[in-house]
Structure 1
Amino acid sequence: MIIISDSDVEQVNKVTQSDVEREILQKKKASPVIYRYDSPEALEFELKMRSKIVKSATDLDASGVRFATFKGSQCNKRYWSRTKNGGFGLKSGVLPSDGINDIFQNGYLYAFECATAVVIILYKAVLDAIHKEAFNTYFTELFLWGWNVDSNLRLISVNNKNEAYLGDILYFENPDHLPETPEWQGENTVMLANDQYYGHGIGIETSEGIISALNSKRKPGSMTSAYLSERVLHPDFQSLQKLSVRGNPLAVQNKYSVNAIVARVGANTYIY
């Protein structure tokens, strides 16, 4: 169920959606979990941000970037400085938006592991959602290395894979991975569609395809299969929306159109 506090029913009736956004909205409306939003703008921002995460993941898959451990990581030296631990620090004088965009434009110059890939996907989605002026204001010291993230990219973790939505980050565990290849102890993935995931180094696959790829990296004779864990990760959409509004005052003027049954009870609006 979705609840929007202190909202105008006419606004809620006007939310425009892509196919991805519509699928997310319908699933949230049907969920037994209550999802609360401060405004229709907050709901729309999350829907659009999730859609951009999905697009960023598919774009990264098509960009030519390669999988590598931290030891073998590579980057475009025009924009990034590679550190001894295999991370990438944004060079002085380079706009954060240019550094992130270059990964998608010149992917053949880059190689990194799956956690770094997910963070890059999230940065690109944020860039496209809040626009480059706001992104360059709030994400000034990018350092790409595993799960290291800028303080403005707040990540929220829940343990309920049944409440995963398109654009969420899910993790496939591989408990019996080969000791000499710790990079295959699991796979961080982006949920692109119903039972479709992008995992850097594996590609776009079903859950069965991801598990099969990980099982091929198990200890000889192992009978313990890889599996989809309960962990679900996503950005703090409300926090990012505030950055978007600060960096782009016109962002709050978006119009809405929702194909839903709307009921007003007291100060709250319910969408079914």
Structure 2
Amino acid sequence: MIIIAGNSETDFDDSKLSALERSMYQAMKGSSFQYRYDSVAGLLFELGVRSHIVESARLLNESGVQFSDFEHSRCNPVYWDRIENGGFQLKSGVTPHEGIRDIFNNGRLYAFECATAVTIVLYKAVLESIGPQQFDMLFSDLMLYDWHFNSNLRLIDRMNPMEAVAGDILYFQNPDFDPATPWWRGENVILLGQDLYYGHGLGIKTSDEIVEGLNKSRKPGSFQSASLADRFDQLDFSYLWRIITSDRRKLIIAKVGARSYILNT
């Protein structure tokens, strides 16, 4: 259900939406979950960011980036410092938007696992949605590692993956994974459309194809199949919308070292 300014939305004209945006809008409208917005602009912002998530996932899949565990991760040293845990810290003097875009432009220089891939896709989508200037201000302390997020990028935990919309993050679990390949204990994926997902290391696949791929990495003698987990995550679009539309005079922008913190007064 979509609720705008306290009212159930019934008269919104979706004729100017793209085909992807229209499909997302219809899915959200028919959901039992309440998608609440202060204005139509907030709804359009979410649809736009979701579209950029889908586009960014496809672009990362085509970028030439490789799959690896943390021990063997790699990055472009011109833009990032590889740290001891296998994550990437933005180099001093490099702007966040430059660092993110380089991953898509020079993907062959990068290797990482699926959770880091999801965070990169989300950052790229937000960057293309709000522009480099705002992105650099909001995400000045960029570090890419597993599920480590800048505080201005938040996820909401949701139940029932059957209600997920394109741009949401799901997880395929593989409880009997082969200990020799622990990175295949599961796969974090981004929903691109009806039963189509991007998972780093597997590519763009249907749910059956992802399960089939994970089942190839079960421990010998196992008959327990991989499956879609019963929870999923979505970007906190409302929080991001509030930040970028807040009156600048009502914001405190505090810098501590290389980090920026934005507080509402």
TM-score over 0.5 (shorter chain): yes
Partner Cα separation in structure 1 for residue 224 and residue 22 of structure 2:
37
Match of 2:251 in 1: none
CA contact (8 A) 1:6 1:39 kept: no
CA contact (8 A) 1:134 1:246 kept: no
Q: Per-residue CA shift, 1:147-204, capped at 9, x if unaligned?
A: 0010000111112112100000000000000112211100000000100000000000
SS at match of 2:16: coil
- CA shift, 1:31, in A, is 2.2
The amino acid of 1:72's aligned partner reads H
The amino acid of 2:28's aligned partner reads K
1:190 aligns with 2:190: yes
Match of 1:255 in 2: none
CA contact (8 A) 1:75 1:110 kept: yes
Identity of aligned residues (%): 52
SS at match of 2:241: helix
Which structure 1 residue ranges, 5 or more long, are not aligned? 249-272
Q: TM-score, normalised by structure 2?
A: 0.89
Deviates more, 1:207-216 or 1:157-166: 157-166
Match of 1:143 in 2: 143
The amino acid of 1:157's aligned partner reads D
The amino acid of 2:39's aligned partner reads S
The amino acid of 2:70's aligned partner reads F
Match of 1:91 in 2: 91
Deviates more, 1:66-75 or 1:233-242: 233-242
- CA shift, 1:131, in A, is 0.8
Match of 1:263 in 2: none
Map 1:1-272 to 2 at 5 A. Answer: 1-5=1-5, 12-13=12-13, 16-246=16-246
What is the aligned residue count? 247
The amino acid of 2:221's aligned partner reads G
Partner Cα separation in structure 1 for residue 247 and residue 84 of structure 2:
34
Match of 1:253 in 2: none
The amino acid of 2:148's aligned partner reads N
- CA shift, 1:242, in A, is 2.4
CA contact (8 A) 1:164 1:232 kept: yes
CA contact (8 A) 2:14 2:22 kept: no
SS at match of 1:149: coil
CA RMSD in angstroms comes to 1.9
Partner Cα separation in structure 1 for residue 89 and residue 135 of structure 2:
17
SS at match of 1:188: strand
Partner Cα separation in structure 2 for residue 132 and residue 246 of structure 1:
18
SS at match of 1:232: strand
- CA shift, 1:243, in A, is 3.0
Q: Per-residue CA shift, 1:217-270, capped at 9, x if unaligned?
A: 00111110000111211111011112333599xxxxxxxxxxxxxxxxxxxxxx
| Runs ≥4 residues deviating over 4 A | 9-12
